[in-house]
Structure 1
Amino acid sequence: MSVIVEFSVETEEFVFGSALETVEHMAIELEAIVPVGGQVVPYFWATGTGFEAFERHVAADPGIESITQIDRIDGTALYRAVWTRDVDGLLGGLAETEAVVLEAMTTDGGWQFRVRFPGNDLLGRFSEYCTEHGISIHVGRVHPLAEASRAGRLFELTPGQREAIVLAVRRGYFEVPRRTDLSAIASELGISQQAASERVRRGADTVLRTALLASRFD
């Protein structure tokens, strides 16, 4: 049975995260970890300002072969990064154990992950991998896939997106006139205003597309 694990890791424990840690005013969220030709290729969203400087910073990292901006919507851009070396850190461990990254984003001083493993045996193997490679992770919650939010499954929302949208609705963000703003939502969630904006916009877009475009109207 598939199992979902929520854990955090310090920035220095995450090689890819270390390549981004000195960039200010930029919130990062991994989109997927995909094995390509034996390499682990991260796709990620960056939300903030100064994308050109951000790209130069990442490209200057000795472990990065290239970084390509695939798409951009207002203050958020989707990137693909290719490594110059084999990744034997956290990303390598996730790839080896067939894990699927459901959510991964920057936090103050580290990263927060929500990962799905095909079974407890592979979760155990991932734990052993981290111990063998000296990677310290802080596990917050472990639960079967069956316990995942029904609304999250229906609309394919990440937990962060669902939390932000639910809070925005409850606080009157979508009402006219608005009863709250993104700054207040971000403060209540304990994240940056840019990260709150990204979660609300992407989550709302997913819900609307699923609700309105998935069905045919004759």
Structure 2
Amino acid sequence: MSVIVEFTVPTDEFLFGSTLTANCDVAVSLEEIIPTDATTIPYFWATGADLEAFERRALADPHIDAITQFDRIDDSALYRVDWHHDDVGLLEALVETGAVVLEAYSEENAEANRWNFRVRFPNHDLLGQFYNVCTDHGIAITIGRVYTLTEASRAGRAFELTPDQREALVLAVREGYFKVPRETDLGEIAAELGISQQATSKRIRRGADKVLRTSLLSPAEYR
């Protein structure tokens, strides 16, 4: 039976993530991917005020062979990047154990400098193998939740919200962010959470997307 794991890893121990976010004020989130090799991440979103500078810095990194922008919406853009390195890291561990990355995004603020992952493994044995590979190579992952889809449903977790997303959504609802007219704004919510407006917006949007997809779409329509 497949198992879903939520875990975090420090940015400086996730080489791909630290390569993209080093020395720049850009938030990065990976699209859902099924790794087939450790040299390519098919697609990821980058959000920031100066994406052109982000692209220049990315191309200057010796691990990155190419970066291509496919779409852009305001201060967010969808990219594909080809990269390489010789060390065994988090991506290699995921490839080796047949994992599917359901969600992965960077989080950098006064309280955290890390990547958050939600990953599906084919079974518990491969999850254990993944953890052992990470431990053997000094990758300090911190596991939060481990559950099957059945367990998630029975426990009332069908929305699969992370604790941070739930906190932001609950606060937004309570403070009247979704009312017409609005009774609060992102700045006030961000101040209460102690994070940036950009990070607050991403938590609310991701959380709302999960809730709406699960509530409104049938299992066949919901990815």
Name the TM tier (shorter chain).
Answer: 0.7 to 0.9
Give 3-state SS (helix, strand or coil) of 2:69's partner. strand
Separation in 2 of the partners of 1:61 and 1:182?
A: 34
How far the C-alpha of 1:2 sits from its partner, in A, is 1.8
Instruction: Answer whether contact 2:34 2:100 (CA < 8 A) is retained.
Output: no
- Alignment of 1:139 with 2:151, yes or no, is no
2:75 is the alignment partner of 1:75: yes
Deviates more, 1:45-54 or 1:98-107: 98-107
TM-score (normalizing by structure 1): 0.80
Equivalent position of 1:6 in the other structure = 6
* Other structure's SS at 2:57 match: helix
What's the counterpart of residue 199 of structure 2?
195
Count of residue correspondences: 212
TM-score (norm 2): 0.78
**Residues 61-100 of structure 1: per-residue CA shift (max 9 Å, x gap):** 1111111112111222111111134663101111111112
Cα RMSD (Å)? 3.0
Distance 1:61 1:76 in 2: 21
8 Å Cα contact 2:4-2:120 kept in structure 1: yes
Q: Structure 1 residues 165, 77: CA separation in 2 closer, same or farther (over 3 Å shift)?
A: farther
1:76/1:198 contact within 8 Å kept:
no
Is 1:113 the counterpart of 2:148? The answer is no
* Distance change in 2, residues 1:4/1:29 (3 Å): same
Question: What does the per-residue CA deviation read over 1:33-68, in whole Å, with 9 as the maximum and x for residues that have no partner?
Answer: 443567342522112210000111111111111111
How much has 1:168 moved relative to structure 2?
2.4
* One-letter amino acid of the counterpart of residue 43, structure 2: Y
**Which residue is equivalent to 2:221?**
none
Q: Does 1:126 align with 2:130?
A: yes
- Structure 1 residue runs of 5 or longer lacking an equivalent are none
**Counterparts of 1:122 and 1:88 in 2: how far apart (Å)?**
17
Q: Is the 8 A contact 1:40 1:95 kept in 2?
A: no
Partner of 1:171: 175
Distance 1:113 1:202 in 2: 13
SS of residue matched to 1:134: coil
Change (3 A) 1:186 1:44: farther
Helix, strand or coil for the counterpart of 2:66? strand
Deviation at 1:189, TM superposition (A): 4.3
In the alignment, residue 135 of structure 1 is paired with which amino acid? I
Task: State how 1:51-62 maps to structure 2 within 5 Å.
Answer: 51-62=51-62
Percent of aligned positions with the same letter in both sequences?
60
1:18-97 mapped onto 2 (5 Å cutoff): 18-36=18-36, 39-85=39-85, 88-97=88-97
- Aligned counterparts of 1:61 and 1:33: Cα–Cα separation in 2: 23
Gaps of 5+ in 2: 219-223
Structure 1 position 115, deviation (Å): 1.5
In structure 2, do the counterparts of structure 1 residues 213 and 126 end up closer, same or farther at CA, with 3 Å as the change threshold?
closer
**Partners of 1:33 and 1:95 within 8 A in 2:** no
Higher mean C-alpha deviation, range 138-147 or range 31-40: 31-40
Query: 1:201–1:74: structure 2 CA closer, same or farther, 3 Å change rule?
Result: farther
Determine the structure 2 residue equivalent to 1:99: 99
- Structure 1 counterpart of 2:3, one-letter code: V
